[in-house]
Amino acid sequence: MPPLKFRPILKSAIWGGEKIAPLKGIVTDQKQIGESWEISGVKGNESVVENGPDAGLTLTRMIEKYGAALVGEPNFQRFGTTFPLLIKIIDAAGDLSLQVHPDDELAMKRHHSLGKTEMWYIVDTEPDAVICAGLSSPVTPEEYVEKVEDNTLMDVVAHHKSKPGDVFFLPAGRIHSIGAGNLLVEVQETSDITYRIYDFGRVDAKTGKPRELHVDLAKDAIDYNVYPNYITKPQDLGEGISELVNCSHFSVWKLTVDGTRIFYPQVDSFSSITCIEGHLTLEDDRGNKVDLKAGESVLLPAMAKKYTLEGKGSLISAVSVPKVN
């Protein structure tokens, strides 16, 4: 089984921009592309393999066929044929809604789904781009509801001026919003459960009505604690490797290559690899090669114990780290 490339799933949005198609070298008439789902096992939005002998199969079908050889034994034992992570590229020309996601326990109770812990790596920004993440002032659940009703919730949300290279770790329960002018890579649990709590008074052009809010559902999901810092500082591991996030759901690194580098995965997991800059060739330990340009992603099966990157570029790589029950 070679490293796998997938057909990107392009999603237009009311806040979407025009940067994703050029970044990926795609010619399309689709407008306001807000998201490219690079690697997805979400039902109804499953990635389809576009290279190798299994071209045309969905990611779920690939797991059914190859099991632990693709995703790793710990992931296969815990998640079965559900791919545990969702990898996206997001282009926000407008502000996304202020939202929050439930944790695994609440999401399973309410929706029979995983929760949604996520992280963002900022690839590019426009001047004055902002990320909203966390609370700047303490509020009670009752005060939260009042502030939604009187349109003052944003007054207690922490605003952060963003720049390329910034990292935001967003555990389930943390209020957040991607502000206009941010282009980023997102790594998250496989979940599409979102509680929208503020939408800047926008009206959906298709319906002529404001988009639905989930104020009551979010009330029990929000982490009301105020933290001293919401921007994650990457840890420089040397030799062009920076650890961006290491949590109970996933670990994420930035890899910078200029020449030829050999990497040895340290856990029994697949590796998702998204190129954010440059042009490289990836070769696994069986001699299978794939081309990787900016805006493209590849899934390296867990059975690959070594891979080589040749060329010049930067990549975001993630593995799944199943929570121990």
Active site residue 196: yes
Please identify which residue in the block is written with the tokens 């389930």: 172
DSSP conformation letters of 107-169: HHHHHSS----EEEEEEEE-TT-EEEEEESS---HHHHHHHHHTT-GGGGEEEEE--TT-EEE
**Which has the closest alpha carbon to 302: 60, 63, 68, 78?**
68
What gap in Å lies between CA 265 and CA 307, rounded to an integer? 8
Rounded Cα distance between 28 and 11, Å, is: 12
Catalytic-labelled residue, pool 196, 202, 211, 286: 196
Instruction: Tell me the HSE value of 125 on the side-chain side, using a 13 A CA sphere.
Output: 19
Do the beta carbons of residue 76 and residue 68 sit within 8 Å? yes
The CA radius of gyration of the chain, in Å to the nearest whole number, is 19
Which sequence positions are flagged as catalytic?
196
